[in-house]
Amino acid sequence: MADSPQFLPDPYDPQPTFLQRHADRIAAAVVFGFTVGLAVLAFPPSKAPEFAYAMLVPGIFWAYTRPRLKLYAWTMFAAQAVAWTVLLGWLHNVTWVGLFLLGPFVGAWVGSWYLAAWWAVPRLLGRPTLTRLAAMLGLASAWVIIEWTRSWLLGGFPWLPLAASQWERASILQIASFTGAYGVSFVLVMMNLGFAAYAHRLFREGAVGLNKRSQEFFLALFLLMACLCVHFQEVFNRFRYNVPLGRVAFVQPYIPQDVKWDPAKGPGILDVLEKTTLAAAATKPDLIVWPEAVTPWAVRGDDTVKAFVESLTRRAQAPLLLGSIAIENSGTPGALWFNGAFVVTPDKGLAADYYAKRQLVAFGEFVPLRPVLGWITKFVPIGDDFSRGLDSSPLIVPVRDQPVVFGPLICYEDVYPQLARRSAQGGSGVLAVLTNNGWFGEGGGAYQHAAHSVLRAVETRRPVLRCGNGGWSGWIDEFGSVRATLTNEAGRIYFRGTQTIAVNRDARWIDRQSYYTEHGDWFVLACFVAMMFGLAALKTGGLPAANPDSAV
């Protein structure tokens, strides 16, 4: 049997260059770098929210070239894992292990959207316009559904939805009063898809002249213009409708976390509270606000602390809204601990009704699966496992001799849109976020947290009074505009002190509910339908033939 002929390479044939041999890996490295950089820059504490309009573009543009699934999936997962570990870097003040577990986990959760993009984007090429637009709407809807699952799945961690990147750009946020923050995220994803489609048309399809037009880009631009129209309609002449709520004094005691729960430091903490509160009282405020769990012992359950707070309120001659601890059935085996918000007035003292926090922090305020994980201790070394509040429990506070209904949100409860919505439904006219951002250190965590309060203000059309242990404290109006932020002489939000701010309300929204408050997450359901339509549109045909000129 004759041997098979052997073919030797022709030494005169052109050899592939280094770039040609490693094009796929180079593309992966470039996409990885741009995806990480744009994602980190888009969110606070960075001051460049415009990057949110392009942070998905590298991955989408790459998907057009049909890269290998394994390479694409690992690249996008790694990019999201790194980006989210950087964004959640403040968590290292609590636990390094938690940071390096949570960052990649959230990255994988959010990054799963890229798998849908990898499958759908190449199938857009050569399709009719309506098919491409339907698929585009479906992809943006898939992003919204992933964000929605983050609000409840596995207990929920909806930190930094895409909409939060725009917390200092109120012009695009106003649609949230109808759709919730999900509508803002939807428009931003549409803009990313539109930019990527336009870029592919220009640089890979060789479009010239009028053929450069991208219907995907124009659809995204139309939605962005719709957001701006809502902005102009809602905020035009808004200052004509301002009515005073009162002068509010925010107190930041800035108690370090390493002494906050030390019983030996308790008297010193009370001394700080007394000095800062009396300094606030000297400005003749109509209301004084303290942050979350500010007293070293329970204001309800410890008579000494109760007497201290009531005496201080009488001396200040202003009602006090504060965060502290309530112990029900104190001293008994059935004692219940609550992280709560309380009202104290000069004439009546501590009010009987209080708000109990509804969304507890796992391993901070309770240990989940206690029979199995009982050997793990909470990182907040105080009391037993906290019990969860069951309703919004609005608090009535006399401000300028008028009853004002406050809806408290404690710690990171303002991250959950459904909690603020239920508070507004329960009759709250003002949202009060009492938090202890001392856990975050002095990095970007406080700014990221404050971004969620902006979203809640727009969604519910309720002003938000926000008081942190050391920052971020201030006032956000019904349209998401930050009207005041507490800073010291150096312009820093991290300091011990107090500031009194004149707060207004918009008369058009007093005793009136926003569309989102009334109808909830209807937009998520609409996105689910849109995603199904987009999927059906793409499945009507196979994958278009590859364009040899568009290979990586």
DSSP for 373-414 reads HTTSPPSS-SSSPBPPP-S---EEEEETTEEEEEEEEEGGGG
Q: What pLDDT sits at residue 552?
A: 35
Residue 393, domain member (yes or no): yes
pLDDT, tens digit (0-9, with 9 covering 90-100), for 527-550: 999 999 999 999 875 555 554 333
Work out the average pLDDT over 254-261. 82
Work out the average pLDDT over 513-517. 98
Q: Per-residue confidence at 96, pLDDT binned at 50, 70, 90? A: confident
- Strand 430-435, strand 464-468: pairing: parallel
Q: How many domains, in total, are found in the chain?
A: 2
Residue 444, domain member (yes or no): yes
Work out the average pLDDT over 345-364. 90
Statement to judge: residues 278 and 204 lie in one domain: no
Statement to judge: residues 318 and 460 lie in one domain: yes
- The H or E element that residue 517 is part of is helix 515-519
Q: What's the angle, vertex CA 65, arms to CA 64 and CA 71, rounded to 5?
A: 105
Residue 73, domain member (yes or no): yes
State the residue range of the domain holding 419. 243-510
Helix orientation angle between 129-150 and 181-203, rounded to the nearest 10 degrees: 140
The residue assigned the tokens 């022709």 is: 10
| Residues paired with 408 in a beta bridge | 432
Distance, in Å, from the CA atom of 393 to the CA atom of 428, rounded to the nearest integer, reads: 9
Q: What is the DSSP string of 213-250?
A: --HHHHHHHHHHHHHHHHHHHHHTTGGGGEEEEEEEEE
Q: What pLDDT sits at residue 550?
A: 39
Statement to judge: residues 126 and 268 lie in one domain: no
And the tokens for 446?
């406080």
- The H or E element that residue 193 is part of is helix 181-203
Residue 210 predicted with pLDDT over 80? no
Work out the average pLDDT over 187-193. 98
Residue 231 predicted with pLDDT over 50? yes
Q: Per-residue confidence at 162, pLDDT binned at 50, 70, 90? A: very high
Q: What pLDDT sits at residue 389?
A: 92
> Which residues contact residue 204 at a Cβ distance below 8 angstroms, ignoring those fewer than 6 apart?
64, 65, 547, 549, 550
pLDDT, tens digit (0-9, with 9 covering 90-100), for 318-347: 999 999 999 998 777 788 999 999 999 999
CATH number at residue 261: 3.60.110.10
Sign of CA dihedral 30, 50, 185, 45: positive
Residue 212 predicted with pLDDT over 80? no
Q: What pLDDT sits at residue 220?
A: 97
Work out the average pLDDT over 357-362. 86
Distance, in Å, from the CA atom of 113 to the CA atom of 79, rounded to the nearest integer, reads: 13
Residue 227 predicted with pLDDT over 90? yes
Q: For residues 457 and 463, is the Cβ–Cβ distance under 8 A?
A: yes
Residue 5, domain member (yes or no): no
Residue 133, domain member (yes or no): yes
> Which residues contact residue 408 at a Cβ distance below 8 angstroms, ignoring those fewer than 6 apart?
321, 323, 341, 355, 393, 394, 395, 423, 431, 432, 433, 434
Statement to judge: residues 168 and 113 lie in one domain: yes
Three-state SS annotation for 4-41: CCCCCCCCCCCCCCHHHHCHHHHHHHHHHHHHHHHHHH
Residue 68 predicted with pLDDT over 70? yes
And the tokens for 415?
């991250």
Statement to judge: residues 504 and 526 lie in one domain: no
Q: What pLDDT sits at residue 235?
A: 77
Statement to judge: residues 219 and 357 lie in one domain: no
Q: What percent of the chain has pLDDT over 70?
A: 88
Q: What pLDDT sits at residue 4?
A: 59
Q: What pLDDT sits at residue 363?
A: 58
Residue 366 predicted with pLDDT over 90? no
Q: What pLDDT sits at residue 334?
A: 80
Statement to judge: residues 283 and 231 lie in one domain: no
Statement to judge: residues 286 and 362 lie in one domain: yes
Residue 308 predicted with pLDDT over 60? yes
Residue 193 predicted with pLDDT over 60? yes
What is residue 57's three-state secondary structure? helix
Highest-confidence segment of 15-29, 68-82, 146-160:
68-82
- The H or E element that residue 523 is part of is helix 522-539
Q: What pLDDT sits at residue 369?
A: 44
Statement to judge: residues 78 and 215 lie in one domain: yes
Q: What's the angle, vertex CA 133, arms to CA 132 and CA 138, rounded to 5?
A: 100
What are the C-alpha distances in Å from 52 to residues 137, 176, 454?
18, 17, 17
Q: What is the pTM of this model?
A: 0.91
Residue 372 predicted with pLDDT over 60? no
Statement to judge: residues 405 and 257 lie in one domain: yes
pLDDT, tens digit (0-9, with 9 covering 90-100), for 412-424: 999 999 999 999 9
Statement to judge: residues 196 and 284 lie in one domain: no
Q: For the chain, give the mean pLDDT.
A: 89
Work out the average pLDDT over 9-21. 62
Residue 9, domain member (yes or no): no
Work out the average pLDDT over 91-95. 82
Statement to judge: residues 136 and 106 lie in one domain: yes
Residue in 297, 247, 306 with CA at minimum distance from that of residue 269: 297
| Residue 45: cis peptide before it, omega within 30 degrees of 0 | yes
Residue 13, domain member (yes or no): no
Q: What pLDDT sits at residue 370?
A: 44
Q: What pLDDT sits at residue 268?
A: 95
Q: What percent of the chain has pLDDT over 90?
A: 74
Indicate the range of 82-96, 279-293, 490-504 predicted with least confidence: 82-96
Q: What pLDDT sits at residue 548?
A: 39
Q: What pLDDT sits at residue 232?
A: 85
pLDDT, tens digit (0-9, with 9 covering 90-100), for 443-454: 899 999 999 999
Q: What pLDDT sits at residue 39?
A: 97
Residue 116 predicted with pLDDT over 60? yes
Residue 6, domain member (yes or no): no
Looking at per-residue pLDDT, the higher value among 113 and 9 belongs to 113
